[in-house]
Amino acid sequence: MDTSRRDFLRIAGGVAATGALAGVLTQNAGAAEAGTLTPHELPPLPYNYDALEPYIDATTMELHHTKHHAAYVNGLNAAEAALAQARASGDFALAQYWSKRAAFNGGGHFLHSMFWKVMAPPDAGGGGAPSGELRDKIQRDFGGFDAFKKQFSAAAAQVEGSGWGLLHYRPEDDRLIVLQAENQHKLTVWGAWPILGIDVWEHAYYLKYQNRRADYVNAWWNVVNWEQVAQNLQALR
């Protein structure tokens, strides 16, 4: 195995914590050698569509999962197939176009796959506050859970246009970082991975909350699955 491929697999392994992106990366590594693509698949929700009521309504959850997330999965599969074709034909302007489409749709697939998992019904672990190491790091890096919630809520509520509020962990210096992502993939930082995120595209809340995005963000804290967030952190350490 040459060095670049070994490094690539090491990097891909590093993000295995959050799942979907590792699949994208290792699949592309394989595709470069084998010329085949394994389709990405829509993961099932770990609860029923109405399980996050009254904070997130069942209709929004079903549309969000079966239409929006599914569209990113399909878009990613289509973009990767078209990218492979463009590369094979030597049309690198077209390859660049499809690469951007793959980044957008792949970002959507990755973040939604995480989003479903970092939520849980209020009677099955959703809400409350983090504990243990995660609580301690939040205390250290933000000055407490309430201070963290304020910064994160403001970041999520104030994303310009469509995007995400995200909590990243950066292993290099052991820091938690609050970020905004526009669309599915812009404004990120390198070397840090999301362990918690809220979708603030209008499709995530408009049926129930209309233009009141901040109300949706406030309600969402009641369904955050802190156990999963702690697992996401552990997997990066």
List residues near Mn ion by CB under 5 A: 68, 199, 201
| Pairwise CA distance, residues 211 & 22, whole Å | 35
Cβ distance to Mn ion smaller for residue 11 or 58:
58
Least distance from C-beta 47 to Mn ion, angstroms? 17
Cβ distance to Mn ion smaller for residue 201 or 216:
201
Least distance from C-beta 200 to Mn ion, angstroms? 9
Q: Which residues contact 67 (CB under 8 A, 6 or more apart)?
A: none
Check: CB of residue 170 under 8 Å from CB of residue 205: no
Check: CB of residue 192 under 8 Å from CB of residue 184: no
Q: What is the DSSP string of 29-75?
A: HHHHHH---PPP-PPPPSS-TTTTTTTS-HHHHHHIIIIIIHHHHHH
Cβ distance to Mn ion smaller for residue 49 or 201:
201
Check: CB of residue 105 under 8 Å from CB of residue 76: yes
Helix, strand or coil for residue 218?
A: helix
Least distance from C-beta 135 to Mn ion, angstroms? 28
Find the residue with minimal CB distance to Mn ion.
199
Cβ distance to Mn ion smaller for residue 32 or 58:
58
| Pairwise CA distance, residues 60 & 199, whole Å | 12
Least distance from C-beta 115 to Mn ion, angstroms? 7
Least distance from C-beta 68 to Mn ion, angstroms? 5
Cβ distance to Mn ion smaller for residue 68 or 87:
68
